[in-house]
Chains A and B, each alone.
Chain A
Amino acid sequence: MSILSTRKADKIDALAEGGTSLAMDALRRTFRNPVAIIGLVIVALFVILAIIAPFIAPKDPYVPYPELQNQLTPSNIPGPMPGFVLGSDQNGYDFFSRLLVGAQQTLFVGVFATLIGVAIGMVIGGLAGAFGGWVDTVLMRLTDIMLSIPSLLLAISIAALLPGSQWTVIIAVAMIGVPVFARLLRGAMMAQRSSDHVLAATALGVKRRTIVFRHMLPNSIGPVIVQATLTLATAIIDAAALSFLGLGDSDWRRAEWGLMLGKAQELLSVKPSLAFYPAIAIIIVALGFTLLGESMRESLDPKNRR
Chain B
Amino acid sequence: MALLDVRDLSVVFKRKGTRPFTAVDGVSFSVEPGQTVGLVGESGSGKSVTSLAIMGLLPKRGAEVTGSVTFSDTELLTLSDKQLRDRRGRDLGMVFQDPLSSLNPVITIGLQITEVLERHRGMSRKEARSEAVELLGRVGLPDPQRRIGEYPHQLSGGMRQRVLIAIALACQPKLLIADEPTTALDVTIQAQILSLLSELVSETDTALIMITHDLGVVAGLCDEVNVMYGGRIVERAERHGLFARSRHPYTHGLLESIPRLDAPRGEPLRPIKGSVSDNIEWSQGCAFAPRCPNATDVCWSDPPELVEDRGGMLRCHNPVAAAEDAVTEGAL
Residues of A bordering B, CB below 8 Å: 15-16, 18-23, 195-197, 199-208, 210, 214-215, 218-219
Since A206-B119, A207-B119, A218-B107 are in contact, a sample of 13 more A-B pairs with Cβ atoms closer than 8 Å, ordered by chain A residue number, is A18-B150, A19-B150, A22-B106, A22-B151, A203-B55, A203-B89, A204-B93, A205-B87, A205-B88, A205-B90, A208-B85, A210-B115, A219-B106
**B296 located at the interface, meaning its Cβ lies under 8 Å from any Cβ of chain A in the complex:** no
- Closest CB-CB distance, A296 to chain B, in whole Å? 16
Pull 26 A–B residue pairs with CB atoms less than 8 Å apart, ordered by A: A15-B154, A16-B146, A18-B149, A18-B154, A19-B150, A21-B151, A22-B105, A196-B98, A197-B101, A197-B105, A199-B96, A201-B104, A202-B57, A203-B57, A203-B88, A203-B93, A204-B168, A205-B86, A205-B116, A205-B119, A206-B119, A208-B85, A210-B115, A214-B107, A218-B106, A219-B106
- Closest CB-CB distance, B167 to chain A, in whole Å? 7
With a cutoff of 8 Å between Cβ atoms, the chain B residues found around residue A15 in the complex are 154
Residue contact A205 to B57, C-beta cutoff 8 Å: no
- The complex places the Cα of A109 from the Cα of B90 at a distance, in Å, of 51
Total A-B residue contacts, Cβ distance less than 8 Å: 87
With a cutoff of 8 Å between Cβ atoms, the chain B residues found around residue A199 in the complex are 57, 96, 102
- The complex places the Cα of A210 from the Cα of B115 at a distance, in Å, of 9
- The complex places the Cα of A218 from the Cα of B112 at a distance, in Å, of 14
- The complex places the Cα of A176 from the Cα of B135 at a distance, in Å, of 50
**B138 located at the interface, meaning its Cβ lies under 8 Å from any Cβ of chain A in the complex:** no
A22 with B104: in contact, given A200-B96, A203-B57, A210-B115 (CB under 8 Å)?
no
With a cutoff of 8 Å between Cβ atoms, the chain A residues found around residue B146 in the complex are 16, 18
- Closest CB-CB distance, B227 to chain A, in whole Å? 25
A18, A21, A205, A219: which has the most chain B beta carbons within 10 Å?
A: A205
A19 with B149: in contact, given A197-B103, A205-B87 (CB under 8 Å)?
yes
With a cutoff of 8 Å between Cβ atoms, the chain A residues found around residue B55 in the complex are 203
Residues of B bordering A, CB below 8 Å: 55, 57, 84-90, 93-94, 96, 98, 101-108, 111, 115-116, 119-120, 146, 149-151, 153-154, 164, 167-168
With a cutoff of 8 Å between Cβ atoms, the chain A residues found around residue B119 in the complex are 204-207, 210
Among A196, A201, A207, contact of B101 (Cβ-Cβ < 8 Å): A196
A15, A204, A218: which has the most chain B beta carbons within 10 Å?
A: A204
- The complex places the Cα of A185 from the Cα of B111 at a distance, in Å, of 24
A197 with B102: in contact, given A20-B151, A204-B168 (CB under 8 Å)?
yes
Residue contact A22 to B153, C-beta cutoff 8 Å: yes
- The complex places the Cα of A202 from the Cα of B82 at a distance, in Å, of 11
Residue contact A204 to B116, C-beta cutoff 8 Å: yes
- The complex places the Cα of A204 from the Cα of B149 at a distance, in Å, of 20
- The complex places the Cα of A21 from the Cα of B105 at a distance, in Å, of 8
Closest B residue to A197 by beta carbon equals: B104
- The complex places the Cα of A22 from the Cα of B86 at a distance, in Å, of 31
Residue contact A206 to B150, C-beta cutoff 8 Å: no
With a cutoff of 8 Å between Cβ atoms, the chain A residues found around residue B94 in the complex are 200, 203-204
- Closest CB-CB distance, B164 to chain A, in whole Å? 7
Residue contact B151 to A204, C-beta cutoff 8 Å: no
- Closest CB-CB distance, A28 to chain B, in whole Å? 14
- Closest CB-CB distance, B79 to chain A, in whole Å? 12
- The complex places the Cα of A178 from the Cα of B305 at a distance, in Å, of 60
- The complex places the Cα of A218 from the Cα of B146 at a distance, in Å, of 23
